């Protein structure tokens, strides 16, 4: 089923395939009766627009967690460094200004709540039940495990855990997202719903 967005999603920087974004949109719609949505790793807002647009339709909220300083692979000299997002004055990556502009253009400011902080700090006093958690933060083993351990426990029964960039074959990509996907299944608390390209969708039992 095609979806309607308020912006041209192809103009937003990011690494989410259209099929994965549409799957997130429909997943957020299903999750709405269960609780708020939350994503870890917003970058410039591509996934936030998909999830936030679903929240707008269902009168829900998306909490968008990101320190906006870029993951390891976004730093100067690394493979996915984008000089347009580098703050020369601060000598730091900073995707927050671009993120805010994209959320504003998509008319989602009432439905997307940015939390500009590292995942572990944002989770420290978190008490809001969640219907959907989407993990797409740092892809180091430490970062992925932190995101999973901080947020999966807040998903209500029947709620969803979505993990991006799952590559079972190490030749195709980094293994940290695949590791937390396996960890979730091995916990006995989650069951696989479907895979959409590299997006794994699980349900809290």
- Residues annotated as part of the active site: 139
Please give the Cα distance from 1 to 80 (Å, whole number). 32
Q: How many other C-beta atoms lie within 10 A of the C-beta of residue 94?
A: 16
How many angstroms separate the Cα of 6 from the Cα of each of 36, 78, 79, 149, 171?
A: 21, 32, 31, 34, 37
Between vectors from CA 139 to CA 31 and to CA 113, what angle results, nearest 5°? 40
Q: Which two tokens stand for residue 106?
A: 């998509």
Beta bridge partners of 65: 40, 115
Distances (CA, A) of 176 to 48, 59, 137: 22, 33, 11
Alpha-carbon distance of 53 to 61, in angstroms, equals 10
Strands 36-40, 62-65: pairing is: parallel
At residue 27's C-alpha, the angle toward residues 160 and 7, to 5°, is: 135
Strands 92-93 and 86-87: antiparallel
């Amino acid at each position: 089923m095609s979806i309607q967005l308020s912006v041209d999603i192809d103009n937003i920087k990011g690494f989410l395939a259209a099929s994965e974004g549409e799957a997130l949109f429909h997943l957020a719609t299903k999750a709405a009766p269960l609780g708020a949505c939350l994503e870890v790793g917003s970058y410039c807002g591509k996934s936030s627009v998909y999830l936030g647009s679903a929240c707008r339709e269902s009168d829900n909220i998306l909490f968008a967690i990101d320190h906006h300083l870029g993951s390891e692979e976004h730093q100067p000299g690394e493979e996915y460094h984008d000089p347009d997002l580098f703050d020369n004055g601060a000598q730091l990556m900073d995707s927050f200004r671009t993120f805010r502009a994209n959320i504003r253009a998509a008319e989602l400011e009432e439905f997307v709540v940015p939390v500009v902080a590292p995942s572990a700090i944002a989770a420290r006093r978190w008490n809001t039940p969640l219907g959907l958690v989407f993990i797409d933060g740092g892809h180091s083993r430490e970062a992925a495990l932190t995101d999973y351990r901080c947020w999966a426990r807040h998903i209500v029964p029947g709620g969803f855990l979505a993990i991006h960039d799952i590559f079972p074959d190490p030749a195709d990509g980094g293994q940290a997202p695949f590791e937390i996907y396996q960890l979730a299944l091995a916990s006995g608390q989650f069951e696989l719903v479907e895979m959409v390209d590299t997006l794994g969708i699980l349900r809290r039992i």
